[in-house]
Every structure is written in structure tokens, then in C-alpha cells.
């Protein structure tokens, strides 16, 4: 099963001019973004080679930017926030010279694109079964039978501010289902861990 995640971070910095020692403040919650990447890609002593995570950054000063980490080819990245954020910063430096719609490989398994969240979601809809994770959605169990081990699946998540209402309507119009892990509102990084856990059961047992 090929797994993808798209995390939208409304305030996360889109140029490299943030302080790596202050990811929550000067990075615009880049700590949260880094934790999502860590949750998506790492298991004990291994990288999930079947997983890609795209973080869509929409903060100052060059929005939007999509930084993608592909587990299949990723190397030399550690699970700690600071290391992941330093890779994002290198990507954003290269991103400064991108024209609209352009994308560039930064290092093995990492690329940056000058692309909107809406465009990325529409692209994924051509390739994957796409779901939107939200506490108020239908139980995850309702889609378990729709997913099998040969599928490509993609899960959309918001940050601490959530997906704006207008964007939720955009997802509704595309027919993307809202899926939940229950009443507890989990952090985005934790929702990614739970998604993997659920998919591991579908794929391996």
C-alpha cells in the first residue's frame, strides 16, 4: 500500500529566514510540521519506504510552498524536530528562486514546489483514494473495507488552526470523505501515527 499525507500549515514560514532554535515562534509552528514528518516516516530503526508526506506551508513571506519527503529515497534525515526543520530550511532556500508551478529536487527524497494546496489535492485525487481526517468525520471503520493492500491512499490534515471552512467546502465538492478517529481531537502528528497503525492492520494482517 502506497501511503501519502498532506499537512496544511497556515502560518508556517515559506522562506528560510526563521530561527532553527525557535521553531514554534519564528518558524510559525514549524515544530508541528516537523513532528508530522517524523510521525509519517519513522518506525523503529527504519524509514517507511511506502510513505510520502507533503507539507503545504502558507505563512510569510513566499506562500504557498509544498515540501515533500519521500520515504522511498530519503536519506540522512533523523526523527528529531531540529534535523527535519533544517532540511525544510534548505528546501525553502532553494524555493526562493522557483517560479509559479515549478518544482525542484533538494536532496534524495526531498523536493520543493511552488504549488497551492488546492492544486496538490486535485493531483492526488487522480492517483489515490483521498480522505480528510477530522474529529467530526465518519468513523475510520466505515472506510476500512474500501481500502485494500494494493491501494494508493492519501490523507489530508490541518494544523492547530484547522482547515478553513472555504477549503472544507472545496473538499466536499470533490467528494472527499471526512474521516475521524473518535471524539478526541488529536494533534495532527498523532493522527498520522494512528492512521499508519490502522493501515498496518489492513496491509499486514
Closest to its own copies by CB, 101 vs 182, is 182
Binding mask 103-122 for its own copies (x = CB under 8 A): --------------------
Task: For residue 177, state whether it binds its own copies (rule: CB under 8 A).
Answer: no
* Burial class (CB within 10 angstroms; exposed 0-12, middle 13-18, buried 19+) of 180: buried
Give the shortest CB-1-to-its own copies separation in angstroms: 13
The stretch near its own copies (CB under 8 A) out of 28-36, 57-65, 69-77, 143-151 is: 28-36
Give the C-alpha separation, 131 to 157, whole Å: 9
Minimal distance, residue 102 CB to its own copies, in Å: 32
CB of 196 to its own copies, least distance (A): 8
Angle at Cα 39 formed by Cα 188 and Cα 180, nearest 5°? 40
d(C-alpha 184, C-alpha 154), whole Å = 22
Residue 45 touching its own copies (CB under 8 A): yes
Is residue 43 a contact residue for its own copies (CB under 8 A)?
A: yes
Please tell me whether residue 1 binds its own copies under the rule CB under 8 A: no
Parallel/antiparallel/unpaired status of strands 51-57 and 65-70: antiparallel
Q: Does 21 bind its own copies (CB under 8 A)?
A: yes
β pairing state of 2-9 and 152-157: parallel
Helix or strand run (H / E) with residue 57 = strand 51-57
Q: At what angle are helices 117-127 and 165-173 packed, to 10 degrees?
A: 30
Instruction: Provide the mask over 64-103, with x wherever binding to its own copies is found by CB under 8 A and - wherever it is not.
Output: --------------xxxxxx--------------------
Amino acid at each position: 500500500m502506497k501511503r501519502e499525507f498532506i499537512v496544511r500549515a497556515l502560518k508556517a514560514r515559506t522562506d528560510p529566514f526563521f530561527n532553527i532554535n525557535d521553531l514554534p515562534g519564528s518558524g510559525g509552528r514549524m515544530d508541528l510540521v516537523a513532528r508530522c514528518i517524523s510521525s509519517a516516516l519513522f518506525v523503529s530503526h527504519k524509514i517507511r519506504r511506502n510513505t510520502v508526506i507533503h507539507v503545504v506551508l502558507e505563512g510569510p513571506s513566499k506562500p504557498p510552498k509544498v515540501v515533500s519527503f519521500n520515504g522511498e529515497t530519503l536519506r540522512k534525515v533523523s526523527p528529531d524536530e531540529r534535523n527535519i526543520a533544517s532540511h525544510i530550511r534548505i528546501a525553502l532556500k532553494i524555493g526562493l528562486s522557483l517560479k509559479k508551478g515549478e518544482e525542484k529536487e533538494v536532496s534524495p527524497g526531498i523536493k520543493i514546489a511552488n504549488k497551492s494546496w488546492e492544486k496538490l489535492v486535485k493531483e492526488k485525487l487522480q492517483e489515490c483514494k483521498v480522505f480528510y481526517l477530522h474529529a467530526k468525520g465518519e468513523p475510520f471503520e466505515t472506510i476500512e473495507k474500501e481500502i485494500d493492500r494494493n491501494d494508493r491512499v492519501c490523507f489530508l490534515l490541518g494544523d492547530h488552526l484547522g482547515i478553513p471552512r472555504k477549503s472544507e467546502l472545496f473538499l466536499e465538492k470533490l467528494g472527499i470523505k471526512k474521516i475521524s478517529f473518535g471524539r478526541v481531537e488529536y494533534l495532527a502528528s498523532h493522527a498520522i501515527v494512528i492512521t499508519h497503525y490502522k493501515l498496518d492492520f489492513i496491509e499486514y494482517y
